Copies of this chain bind each other. A is one copy, B any other.
Amino acid sequence: MKKKYQELKNRLAEISHINSAIALLTWDQSTYMPPKAGLARGKQLANLTKIAHEKSTDAELGKLLDELQTYSDSLDYDSDEASLIRVTRRNYEHAVKVPVPLMAEQSNHSTITFEMWKEAHEKNDFSLVQPYLEKTLDISRRIANCFPNYDHIADPLISFMDYGLKATEIKKLFATLREELVPLVESITAQPETDDSCLRQFFHGDKQLMFSRHVSKRYGYDLERGRQDLAPHPFVIKVAANDVRLTSRFKERYLAENVLSTMHETGHALYEFGINPDYEGTPLNTGASVAVHESQSRLWENIVGRSKEFWEHFYPQLQAIFPEQLESVPLDTFYRALNKVRRSYNRVEADEVTYNLHVMIRFDFELDLLEGKLAVKDLPKAWQERYESDLGVTPPSDADGVLQDIHWFAGMVGGYFQGYTLGNILSGQFYKVALKTHPEITDEIGAGQFTTLHSWLKENIYRHGQKYTTNELIKRVTGDDSIMVEPERKSLLFHVKASFDAHVK
Within the complex, the shortest CB–CB distance from A51 to chain B, in Å, comes to: 7
Q: Which of B20, B44, B48 contacts A240 (CB 8 A)?
A: B44
Flag whether A36 is at the interface (Cβ < 8 A). Answer: yes
Q: How far is the CA of A325 from the CA of B281 in the complex (A)?
A: 54
Within the complex, the shortest CB–CB distance from A299 to chain B, in Å, comes to: 24
| Contact, CB under 8 Å: A48 / B17 | yes
Q: From A223, which residue of chain B is reached at the shortest CB distance?
A: B34
| Contact, CB under 8 Å: A34 / B226 | yes
Q: Which of A13, A18, A280 has the most CB of B within 10 A?
A: A18
Residues of B contacting A366 in the complex (Cβ-Cβ under 8 angstroms) = none
Residues of B contacting A245 in the complex (Cβ-Cβ under 8 angstroms) = 34
| Contact, CB under 8 Å: A241 / B25 | no
Flag whether A413 is at the interface (Cβ < 8 A). Answer: no
Q: From A281, which residue of chain B is reached at the shortest CB distance?
A: B43
| Contact, CB under 8 Å: A241 / B34 | no
Q: From A20, which residue of chain B is reached at the shortest CB distance?
A: B44
What is the 8 Å Cβ interface bit string for chain A, positions 414-452, against chain B (1 contact, 0 not)?
Answer: 000000000000000000000000000000000000000
| Contact, CB under 8 Å: B37 / A225 | yes
Residues of B contacting A112 in the complex (Cβ-Cβ under 8 angstroms) = none
Residues of B contacting A281 in the complex (Cβ-Cβ under 8 angstroms) = 43
Residues of B contacting A20 in the complex (Cβ-Cβ under 8 angstroms) = 25, 40, 44
Residues of B contacting A37 in the complex (Cβ-Cβ under 8 angstroms) = 225, 239-240, 242-243
Q: Which of B44, B225, B242 contacts A21 (CB 8 A)?
A: B44
What is the 8 Å Cβ interface bit string for chain A, positions 151-194, against chain B (1 contact, 0 not)?
Answer: 00000000000000000000000000000000000000000000
| Contact, CB under 8 Å: B32 / A32 | yes
Residues of B contacting A91 in the complex (Cβ-Cβ under 8 angstroms) = none
Within the complex, the shortest CB–CB distance from A109 to chain B, in Å, comes to: 22
What is the 8 Å Cβ interface bit string for chain A, positions 267-300, against chain B (1 contact, 0 not)?
Answer: 0000000000000110000000000000000000
Of residues 229 through 244 on chain A, the ones whose CB sits less than 8 Å from some CB of chain B are 229, 239-243
- Given A17-B43, A40-B243, A241-B40 in contact, is the A28-B24 Cβ separation under 8 Å? yes
Q: How large is the interface on A (under 10, 10 to 19, 20 to 34, 35 or more residues)?
A: 35 or more
Of residues 1 through 46 on chain A, the ones whose CB sits less than 8 Å from some CB of chain B are 13-14, 17-18, 20-22, 24-25, 28, 32-37, 39-41, 43-44
Q: How far is the CA of A457 from the CA of B371 in the complex (A)?
A: 64
| Contact, CB under 8 Å: A47 / B17 | yes
Q: From A40, which residue of chain B is reached at the shortest CB distance?
A: B240
Q: From A229, which residue of chain B is reached at the shortest CB distance?
A: B32
Of residues 69 through 126 on chain A, the ones whose CB sits less than 8 Å from some CB of chain B are none
| Contact, CB under 8 Å: B34 / A25 | no
Q: How far is the CA of A132 from the CA of B270 in the complex (A)?
A: 43
| Contact, CB under 8 Å: B242 / A40 | yes
Could you list which residues of chain A lie within 8 angstroms of chain B, going by C-beta atoms?
13-14, 17-18, 20-22, 24-25, 28, 32-37, 39-41, 43-44, 47-48, 51, 223-227, 229, 239-243, 245, 280-281
Sampled A-B contacts (18; CB under 8 Å)? A14-B51, A17-B43, A17-B47, A20-B25, A21-B25, A24-B25, A28-B28, A32-B32, A34-B223, A34-B242, A36-B224, A36-B243, A37-B240, A37-B242, A40-B239, A40-B243, A41-B240, A44-B240
Known: A18-B47, A20-B40. 4 other contacts (CB 8 A): A21-B22, A33-B243, A36-B225, A37-B242
